[in-house]
Structure 1
Amino acid sequence: MSGMQLLELNDVRVFNLTAGKALPSWLSEKKRRQLLKRDVDLQRRIELIQDFEMPTAADCIRVSPDGEYIMAAGTYKPRIRCYDLDQMSLKFERHLNCEVVDMAYLSDNYSKQVFLMADRYVEVHASYGYHHRTRTPKNGRSIAYNHETCDLYVGATGPEIYRINLEQGRFLKSWTTQAPAVNKVLINDYYGMLAAGTTLGMVECFDPRARERIGVLDVTRGLSARAQRQLKGQIPAISTMTFMQDNLTLGVGTTGGQVLLYDIRAAEPVLTKDHSYGLPIKRIVHHAASDSVLAADQKVIKIWKRESGEAITAIEADADINDMDMYPDSGMFFVGGEQSKMMIYFVPSLGPAPKWCHYLDSITEELDDGAQPAVYDDYKFVTREELDALGLSSLVGTALLKAHMHGYFIDVRLYNEAKDASNPFAYEEYRQRLIRKKLEEGTESRLQLAKYRKELPKINRALAKRLVEFNENQGQESSGWSHRLYSPHSHCIVSGAKPHVALNLLFSSVGHSRKHCSSCR
C-alpha cells in the first residue's frame, strides 16, 4: 500500500500513515475524480483523517482530553481546524488574525478553548466561534489553565507570569520570576502547582495558595560535564516541560537538546538523555501504557524507556517538526511540521490502535515488506585509526564493538568517556587558543598600522604592503628598498637601490611620471 510506509528501526515497527500521495487542494471535484481513476497510487492510499493538513505548515496540534477531537493551528493564512475522530473528518475551520503560539482546552471537548496569539492577544473560543479576547502587557510564549481556580497563566518575554481569572474576568497580581523571560508554563493538575521554565535554565514553582515562590530547580547543575563543555559557557534555556503520569516526575527539555527527568522532591535529575543534535526540544510526552518517553526536536523523535533510558527507536520526520501530541492509551501520535501534511505515526509495540480506527491492527500485521535495515541508536561509527588514537584497540573482537564495513560501531557513552580520558584538557586548550587568537588579531592590526604608516606611499598602499610582506617572507633583506621604500621625496626612489620591476608597475599604473635624483640616474 502506497499510503502506509513501514519503517523497522531497532526491531521496532513504525508505520507512517501519511507517506502516500495527496490530491492537490486547488483541483475541482470533477478533476479529482478523473485523477483518482487514472492514478493507481492515489486509489491505494490510506487517508486516515480526511483533509488532515494545513495550507503551508502546522504550528500546534492537540488532542482533546476526551480523545474525540484534534485541534490544530497553522498557516497560511492563520487558521485553526478541528477534526472529529469518530467521523475521521474535518468538523470546522476558523480563520484568525494572527498566528497561534500556544493553545489549551478549557473543557473536555472542543466547546471551550483558549489561544495565545503572536500579537499579544489571548483569545477565548466557544463552540459557536470567537467569544472574547484580551491583551497581555508583553508577548506571550506559553499558556496553562488551572481547572481548580479557573486561572489562566501566561508566560511572556518578561519576568512576570500573568494570571487571568476567567471566572471573574480580570487580571490577578502577577508572579515574578528571577529570569528575564519565561519560555514555558505547566500546571500539575493533581497538586495544583505551577512550574515555569525560564531562559536562565531554572524551573521556578508557584502555588496559588501561597504568595511567594515555593521552590527553584537549577537544571544546569544536572547536565553532564560533556554537555556543559559543548555549551561553551552558554546557559541552556528551558524549552518545554511535562509532568509524567505519576505526577511526581517532571520532564524538562532544554534548548541544547537535553532531556532531564526529575523527581519533584529532589534537586538532582533521575535520568538525562541527549539528542546530540544541539536543537531545542519541542515537546515531551509520557506514554503511560508502556512507561516510555517520546521527545521531539526539530529533526527527530526519540522514544526511550523512562526508568532505564534505553532507546526504543528514533523517527526522522519528513519535514522540520513544530509540535507533537500522543493519542492516549494507544501507539498513535500526531506531528505538525513545516509541510502541508500533518503526519500520523503508529507504533504497535507502544500500544494498540485507537478505537476509532481499530482496523489498523489487522492491517499492520499484514504489512511486513519494505522495511528498512536496522540502525544502531546511541551508537557512533569509528574507524580503526580512531580506535588506536582513543586507546580502545584491545576491544576489537569483544561485544563492545560491532564490526561494520571499514570500522566499528561503539556505544556513544563509552566513546565520550574514552575521548575525555585521552585528552581531558581539550576544551581548556581550545578556549585558550581562541582567546590567544583574538588577542593576536587585535595586536597585529595595531602593529601593522604603526609599521606601515610612514613607509607606504599614499597611492596603491595596499599593493605596496603586499610587496613588502612578500619580500620579507622570501628573506630578501639585502635589497635596500625592503627596509626603506621611499625617500622623503615622494617622486624619487631611494638612492642606491635598484628599482624593482613591480615598483615600476606600481608607479606606471597610476600614471606617475617617475623622476630620479642624481644618484638614481
Structure 2
Amino acid sequence: MQVSNANNVKIYNLSAGKSLPEWLTDRQRRKLQNKDNDVRRRLELIQDFDMPSLSNCVKVSPDEQFICATGTYKPRFRCYDVYELCLKFDRGLDASVVDFQFLSEDYSKVCFLQDDRYVEFHTQFGRLMRMRLPKYGRDLSYYPPSCDMFFVGVSSEIYRINLAKGRFMKPLQTQAIEFNCCEFNPVNYLFGCGSTLGHLECWDPRVRLRCGLLDIATSNFVKDYNISMIPEITAMKFKSDGLTVALGTSTGHVLLYDLRAMKPFMVKDHNYELPIHSIDFQDSQDLVLSMDTKILKLWSKNTGSPLTAIEPGVNLNQLCVVPNSGLIFMANEAPKILTYFIPSLGPAPRWCSSLDSMTEELEEKEESSGLVAKALFTGNWSVNDDFGIPLKTLRDIYMLGRG
C-alpha cells in the first residue's frame, strides 16, 4: 500500500506492490514475504482482483455485494463476492466487452455489449441468449418500467430490445450521425444520449418522442478555450437530483448543465486534450469525479476548484465509485484493477471496514514521528503531552541522538 498526499488529501493506493505467482506454494510464499519488504507490506483487499492482460469495465452490483469486471486476454467476465473477499467465478466470453449492465440486484442477470455487434444476456448458469445489432454499439442503458434495453452506436437510430418479448422493437430515429454514450435520468427516466456532433438529445421513453436538444458547440466555452473542432460528447452522467447533467467532451472538457438552461454553469478543463471516459458525482460534498485516459480529477461542482487528482501512470478505461464510501476502482490497461481509498470522500464500505482503523493508525504514527523529529531538533518537549508520549522517553531519545 502506498500513501500520497496530493493537495493535502490522503490517497491510499491499495493495489500497489508486487503480485505473487499463482504457482507458488504456501511455504514459498512465506519465504518470499520474509525476504522482500515490498511483498510483506502489500495489501490484498480482494483476492485475485486482476485480469490476465487488461480490464475494460468494472462495476458494483446494485446490492453492493458483488464486484464484476470484464477484461482480456482471452475475453472474460469475473465476479467477486465482497463478503468472501475472493473470486466467485470466472466466465469466458466470445468477444471483448464494450460495456455491460446489471439487470437485477445481484450478478444473476447481466447484459453484455460486445465489439462484434452481439448482445449477450447472462444468468447464473451462463449465457441465456445472444442477439446481433444492425450496427456496432458503443453504450447501453436499461429502462426498468417496460423492460427495454437501449443501445446507441455507429448509427443514427437508437435500437431497443424488449426483454419481456425477447425481440427488437421499433428504433428511435434521431438527427445525429453517431452516438458515443447514453444514460437514463434516475429521477424522471429521461433518456439522454450524446452524439459525435456535440448534441445531447433527450427522449421520453413513454411516448418515444424527443423532448429536447442541446448543442454544446453553441456555448461560449468553444471560443474561450480556442477549440477549432466540433467537440464530441464522449461521456455523460445525471446527478441524483434529476436536474444536473455532466457532459464530457472529446477535447478534454467537462460541462455541467442545468436541464432548464441552455448554457453550462461550470466548465472544467483537464488540460490534457484527451477524451473524457467516465464521470461521477459525490453528493455529500458536491464533488465531480472526471477521468480521461491519463488522470482522474476530483473538483468542486459549484466553484470548479480542484480537490485532488490521481495519475497512476497507465491508461485508464473506466471509473467505478463504491456508493456512500471513499473507495474507487479503475479499469485500466494493466493486469491489476486499480483500487484507491480516499478517507475525505467517505468511510470504507462495510465489507472492508478495517480500512478506516488502518488509515487512522497510519495517520497517528505519522503525527507521532513528526512530533518526535520536531522535539529532537528543537528541544521543545511540552508540545508532546497531548499525544501521550512520555517526556522521559523523548529526553532519552534526544540524549541518545546527541551521544
* Band the TM-score falls in, shorter-chain normalisation: 0.7 to 0.9
1:3-18 to structure 2, matched below 5 A, reads: 4-18=1-15
Task: Please point out which of 83, 87, 95 is paired with 2:84.
Answer: 87
* Cα distance in 2 for residues equivalent to 1:254 and 1:288: 22
Deviation sequence 1:24-66 (CA, Å, 0-9, x none): 2454666445434543332221100110000111011111111
Q: Secondary structure at the match of 2:265?
A: strand
C-alpha displacement of 1:148 = 1.2
CA contact (8 A) 1:142 1:155 kept: yes
CA contact (8 A) 2:107 2:124 kept: yes
Q: Which residue identity lines up with residue 75 of structure 2 in the other structure?
A: P
Question: Which residue in 1 is equivalent to 2:280?
Answer: 285
Question: Which residue in 1 is equivalent to 2:349?
Answer: 354
In structure 1, list runs of 5 or more residues that go unmatched: 372-521
Q: Secondary structure at the match of 1:282?
A: strand
1:172-211 to structure 2, matched below 5 A, reads: 172-211=169-208
Task: Please point out which of 61, 65, 73 is paired with 1:64.
Answer: 61
* Cα distance in 2 for residues equivalent to 1:268 and 1:238: 15
TM-score when normalising by structure 1 = 0.68
Q: Secondary structure at the match of 1:94?
A: strand
**Higher share of residues assigned strand:** 2
CA contact (8 A) 1:113 1:124 kept: yes
1:448-459 to structure 2, matched below 5 A, reads: none
Question: Which residue in 2 is equivalent to 1:165?
Answer: 162
In structure 2, list runs of 5 or more residues that go unmatched: 368-403
* Cα distance in 2 for residues equivalent to 1:30 and 1:118: 43
* Cα distance in 2 for residues equivalent to 1:202 and 1:25: 49
Task: Please point out which of 331, 336, 351 is paired with 1:341.
Answer: 336
Question: Which residue in 1 is equivalent to 2:372?
Answer: none
CA contact (8 A) 2:48 2:87 kept: yes
Deviation sequence 1:135-180 (CA, Å, 0-9, x none): 0001110000011111100001011110111011111111122121
Q: Which residue identity lines up with residue 245 of structure 1 in the other structure?
A: S
TM-score when normalising by structure 2 = 0.87
Closer, same or farther: CA 25–238 of 1 in aligned 2, 3 Å: farther
C-alpha displacement of 1:290 = 2.0
Question: Which residue in 2 is equivalent to 1:417?
Answer: none
How many residues matched?
366
Question: Which residue in 2 is equivalent to 1:213?
Answer: 210
Q: Which residue identity lines up with residue 319 of structure 1 in the other structure?
A: V
CA contact (8 A) 2:257 2:264 kept: yes
CA contact (8 A) 1:199 1:236 kept: yes
C-alpha displacement of 1:248 = 1.1
Q: Secondary structure at the match of 1:168?
A: coil
C-alpha displacement of 1:227 = 5.2
Task: Please point out which of 230, 238, 243 is paired with 2:238.
Answer: 243
Question: Which residue in 1 is equivalent to 2:264?
Answer: 269
Q: Give the RMSD, CA atoms, in angstroms.
A: 1.7
Q: Which residue identity lines up with residue 264 of structure 2 in the other structure?
A: P
Q: Which residue identity lines up with residue 118 of structure 1 in the other structure?
A: D
1:461-472 to structure 2, matched below 5 A, reads: none
Question: Which residue in 2 is equivalent to 1:311?
Answer: 306
* Cα distance in 2 for residues equivalent to 1:176 and 1:260: 26
CA contact (8 A) 2:252 2:292 kept: yes
C-alpha displacement of 1:366 = 2.6
* Cα distance in 2 for residues equivalent to 1:28 and 1:171: 52
* Percent of paired sites with the same residue: 46
Deviation sequence 1:99-118 (CA, Å, 0-9, x none): 00011100111111100001
* Cα distance in 1 for residues equivalent to 2:192 and 2:74: 33
Closer, same or farther: CA 128–278 of 1 in aligned 2, 3 Å: same
C-alpha displacement of 1:358 = 0.8
Q: Which residue identity lines up with residue 286 of structure 1 in the other structure?
A: F
CA contact (8 A) 1:69 1:85 kept: yes
1:128 is the counterpart of 2:125: yes
1:101 is the counterpart of 2:98: yes
1:327 is the counterpart of 2:345: no
